[in-house]
Amino acid sequence: MSNLIYQNAIATDDWTLVELPKIEKVVRMQAGKVVQFHLTGESTISATQITDTVIPPNGLVLLPMSVYIARKASLENRVAKQEVGIWLATHERLETLIEVEADLNRFPLITVFVERFSDGRIFSLGNLLRTRYGYNNTLRAFGDVLRDQLYFLKRSGFDSYLIRADRNAQEALSSLNDFTRPYQGAVDEKLPVWRRVSRK
């Protein structure tokens, strides 16, 4: 069964996820200890990785943001045919895409990869895509996506969720509605409670 949720129901996934070719992780030594550097915004993608990324010639392809930006010219045809979606990781800067792409709605799908459940940057990215950059098409979360994030993801502008493979997406559905009437305005419900109802 599919583990994809789209607009409150289980859906099939027609997109092919394109990943960057794997390279060895950069490990540095600091004060005698092995430290893995994953600082916010640090670029870990090499030019070789980008040119070596294999893009399937047909069908709907979900491309790494960095690959799309670097190889944009060669992809124009497919973008026009609505065959290109974009994915980015939570530490990547959305602005690098905005700088080269005036209209995000040329992409039928944008997805954000969250490596760890506890990484809440995904919520701000969803909010920015929807409220600042005017993105209206499908916004999906994938990676370490479990049911207890869904309510917050939904409120941050996401409408599609690929639940982690070892979990039941059907059961996860109910968590989209953990709370009925939120206090604050966000992406889905823009008005705070005091502008929606009369509270005495």
Partner 1 sequence: MYKYDEIDQQLVDERVAQYRDQTRRFLTGELSEEEFRPLRLQNGLYIQRHAPMLRIAVPYGMLSSKQLHKLADIAERYDRSYGHFSTRQNMQLNWPKLEQIPDILAELATVEMHAIQTSGNCIRNITTDQFAGIAPDEVVDPRAMAEVIRQWSTFHPEFALLPRKFKIAVSGTKQDRAVVQMHDIGMEFYLDGANKVAIKVWVGGGLGRTPILGSVINEHLEWQHALTYCEAIVRVYNLHGRRDNSYKARIKILVKALGIDEFRKQVDAEWSHLKDTPNTITEEELARVAQHFAVMPYDNLPVNNASFEAEVANNAAFAAWVKRCVHAHKQSGYRAVTLSLKPHGKAPGDASSEQMHVVADLAAQYSFGELRVSHEQNLILADVQLGNLFAVWQQARAHGLATPNIGLLTDIICCPGGDFCSLANAKSIPIAEAIQMQFDNLDYLHDIGELELNISGCMNACGHHHVGHIGILGVDKDGSEWYQVSIGGKQGNDASLSSVIGPSFAAEEMPGVVQRLIDVYIDQRTPEELFIDTVRRLGVAPFKAHVYAAKETEASHV
- Tokens 């953990």, located at residue: 178
Distance in Å, CB of 52 to partner 1, minimum: 27
Q: Which is nearer to partner 1, 105 or 117 (CB)?
A: 117
Name which of 130, 170, 135 is nearest 150 in CA terms. Answer: 170
Distance in Å, CB of 15 to partner 1, minimum: 25
Distance in Å, CB of 189 to partner 1, minimum: 9
Interior angle at CA 18, CA 100 and CA 75, nearest 5: 40
Distance in Å, CB of 21 to partner 1, minimum: 24
Q: Which is nearer to partner 1, 50 or 151 (CB)?
A: 151
- Tokens 């794997």, located at residue: 22
Paired tokens of 119? 């990484």
- Binding residues for partner 1 (CB under 8 A): 36-41, 117-121, 123-125, 127, 131-132, 146, 148-149, 151-156, 175, 178-187, 190-195, 197, 199-200
Cα–Cα distance measured from residue 172 to residue 59, given in angstroms and rounded to the nearest whole number: 29
